[in-house]
Amino acid sequence: MRPRGAAATRRVMNGTAFVMPGPNLQPERVLDLLCAQRVTLTGAVPTVWLGVLDALEQQPERWSLPEGLRVVMRRLRGAGIAVSPLRPVRRAGHSALGMTETTPMATASTLKPHMTSWSDDAQHEQRAKAGRAVAVHRDSRDRRRRRSGPRRTDAGELQVRGPWVATSYYNQPDAADRWTGDGWFQTGDVVTIDPDGYVKITDRTKDLIKSGGEWISSVDVENALVAHPAVAEAAVIAVPDPKWQERPLAIVVRKPGAAVSGEELRVFLGRTFAKWQLPDDFVFVSEIPHTSTGKILKSALREEYQAWAIA
């Protein structure tokens, strides 16, 4: 039994110490553990690391992280992560994509040898992608979605297969359509895959916003919003629109003590997005609902704001 309040250590696979934080994932507690146990490799969902980075920003002298520490940002399905807030751990940070059906990692982002000569910014951008298929997965691919409207994107749904990938759900024959006829698991993530095989998540198929025949990635807009120095967290959802079918609505949590208006955020986003991609309205809240695994609960937000009237 693990002593109450103490870090649990186990030796797994290659005999290294394995530190379990328990249910308390407050940023200060995580940082205390990393330092006390001299952890060299750690991973968690983006929500945890954004809180940790904020704590480091508030009290930079409190913790001395272990030299050589590597940080894995495990992306949940459709959960993107902004690049800018992660720059403090640019050389230590790596991304990964995982879900229960892939036991649990499908991709991991480490640099290929020829990328080590790239600039720091280029390397950081590459590490921020979800990465390439890990060894226990035979392959990953994307299937292009046919979309109406004049613009065709290069994004498609990510599909994976391999010896550690589920081939069915127990006692759920009605869920058989989650697998293709040739045995690929359909993740529901909309991605692009670059020539080096690195996956970049752009959205979930159900979270894409269709506005006047064009598709808007909610994840791209969320990532840009979180890059603003006054924004702690953001979610972008589709709300009904009589003219355009759907329009994006941004729900934003400000950082403590920060002040920013919707118009300021619209101008900020306008530097990188076309006008038609910008949210029509911004709602400021004290917190955004999350699932038990730390992912933004967009279904609850869609239900809450389904009748939102954009002026």
pLDDT over threshold 80, residue 149: no
Name the fold adopted by 209-304: GMP Synthetase; Chain A, domain 3 (3.30.300)
Tell me, which fold does domain 8-133 have in CATH?
Rossmann fold (3.40.50)
Q: What's the confidence (pLDDT) of residue 18? A: 86
Measure Cα distances from 4 to 1, 22, 184 in Å: 9, 10, 43
Residue 301 DSSP SS3: helix
SS3 237: strand
Residues 17, 18, 24: CA angle, nearest 5 degrees: 140
Contacting residues for 101 by C-beta, under 8 A, at least 6 apart: 165, 166, 185, 187
What is the predicted pLDDT for the residue at 87? 53
pLDDT at 10 over 60: no
Task: Give the count of beta carbons closer than 10 Å to the beta carbon of residue 147.
Answer: 14
Instruction: Please give the Cα distance from 281 to 270 (Å, whole number).
Output: 14
Better-scored residue on pLDDT, 8 or 309 = 309
Side chain identity, residue 22: G
Judge whether 191 and 158 are in contact, CB under 8 Å: yes
Q: What is the pLDDT of residue 277?
A: 96
Predicted confidence (pLDDT) at residue 209 exceeds the cutoff of 70: yes
Q: How confident is the model at residue 309 (pLDDT cuts 50, 70, 90)?
A: low
CA–CA separation, 219 and 234 (whole Å):
10
> Out of 81-85, 103-107, 264-268, which region has the weakest mean confidence (pLDDT)?
81-85
The pLDDT, as a whole number, for residue 104 is 78
Q: How far apart are the first and last CA of the chain?
A: 58
The pLDDT assigned to 99 comes to 84
Per-residue confidence (pLDDT) for residue 156, from 0 to 100 = 85
**What's the CA gap between 26 and 40, in Å, rounded?**
19
Same topology, domains 139-204 and 209-304? Answer is no
Confidence of residue 88 (pLDDT cuts 50, 70, 90): low
Tens of pLDDT, residue by residue over 12-44, are 666 788 888 888 889 999 999 999 999 998 888
Supply the Cα-derived Rg of the chain in whole angstroms: 20
The fraction of the chain above a pLDDT of 70, given in percent, is 82
What are the structural domain ranges in the chain? 8-133, 139-204, 209-304
pLDDT at site 296: 87
Pair of tokens at residue 200 = 């970049």
Q: What is the mean pLDDT of residues 215-228?
A: 92
- Comparing 252 with 60, which gets the higher pLDDT? 252
d(CA 108, CA 94): 7
Instruction: Please give, one letter per residue, the 3-state secondary structure of 138-206.
Output: CEEEEEECCCCCCCCCCCEEEEEECCCCCCCCCCCHHHHHHECCCCCEEEEEEEEECCCCCEEEEEECC
* Mean pLDDT of the region 264-289: 96
Q: What average pLDDT does range 137-163 have in this prediction?
A: 62
Residues 6 or more apart whose CB falls under 8 angstroms from that of 288 comprise 233, 234, 235, 251, 253, 296, 297, 301
Residue 238: beta bridge partners?
A: 248
Query: Residue 7: its pLDDT value, please?
Result: 43
* pLDDT of 168: 93
Average pLDDT, the chain: 83
E strands of the chain, at which residues?
8-12, 16-20, 41-44, 70-75, 93-98, 105-108, 132-133, 139-144, 156-161, 185-193, 199-204, 209-211, 214-216, 231-241, 245-254, 281-284
More confident residue, 82 or 306: 306
Architecture of domain 139-204: Roll (2.30)
Q: With the CA atoms of 90, 91, 97 and 102 taken in that order, what torsion angle do they form, in degrees rounded to the nearest 10?
A: -160
Mean pLDDT of 294-299: 85
pLDDT in tens, 70-80: 888 766 544 54
Which carries the bigger pLDDT value, residue 171 or residue 68? 171
- pLDDT above 70: residue 69: yes
The residue-averaged pLDDT of 229-242 equals 93
Q: At residue 58, does pLDDT exceed 70?
A: yes
* Residues 138, 28: Cα–Cα separation, whole Å: 39
What pLDDT does residue 46 have? 75
pLDDT, greater one: 118 or 107: 118
